[in-house]
Chains A and B, each alone.
Chain A
Amino acid sequence: MNLFLIAMILALLIPIYDAWKNEDIWRRMLAFGSISTKAAITILFVSVLRDDWMIGIVGVMILTVGNAALMLLAQIIKRIGEA
């Protein structure tokens, strides 16, 4: 199971590198969306490994609230770009 966790953290590093390297705002938004999903899944994985419900609830909250916030942010960026 630890090997799976290491692989997931490695997969999380790719969008972080992409968000740091890219200047285009939409590519950054894509990378941030990927980071939020992958971080939430990693947190849920850790919570199941440790058999701890509290950490798992944090992961599910990141899944819902993080994605909703990214949607709102995308709309705001689009409106600012139009104005």
Chain B
Amino acid sequence: MIDLLSYTCIGIGIFFSFWGTSHLLTQRSVLFKLHSLSVADTLGSMSIMFGLLLKRPREWPLLLLAIICLALWNTMLGYVLAYCASGEQKYE
């Protein structure tokens, strides 16, 4: 049962990463790509990590650290990149 759940989580994560990364190849704006990439990378990677955590509960400190790093740093990187990429336009 736990095996099935962990495989499902990893599969969902890989589907997310393929779906979000496929937007990179289209000719849309940078912010649109940033949105889809940050959603796919953060949520997909967290889902993969959760699947691994279910599969190997013995290594929980490392995997939990990875999940927390993903949640904090990836969102922050998304904000900074969005701020820098759209810095030319002034909102006054």
Contacts and interface: CB of A to CB of B under 8 A. Distances in A.
B37 A30 contact: yes
Given A26-B30, A26-B81, A37-B41, A67 B74 contact: yes
Determine which residue in A63, A64, A68 has the highest number of CB atoms from chain B within 10 A of its CB, and name it: A63
B24 A64 contact: no
B37 to A, nearest CB: 5
Interface in A14-54: 14-15, 17-18, 24, 26-27, 29-31, 33-34, 37-38, 40-41, 44-45, 47-48, 51, 53
- Say which size band chain B's interface belongs to: 35 or more
15 contacts: A4-B11, A11-B14, A26-B81, A29-B81, A29-B85, A34-B24, A34-B37, A37-B41, A41-B49, A44-B49, A44-B52, A53-B59, A57-B62, A64-B69, A74-B84
Interface of B: 10-11, 14, 17-18, 21-22, 24-25, 30, 33-34, 37, 41, 45, 48-49, 52, 55-56, 59, 62-63, 65-66, 69-70, 73-74, 76-77, 80-81, 84-85, 87
Given A30-B33, A34-B24, A64-B73, 17 more contacts: A4-B11, A8-B17, A18-B25, A26-B84, A27-B33, A30-B34, A30-B81, A33-B81, A37-B45, A44-B49, A48-B59, A53-B59, A64-B69, A67-B69, A67-B74, A70-B81, A71-B81
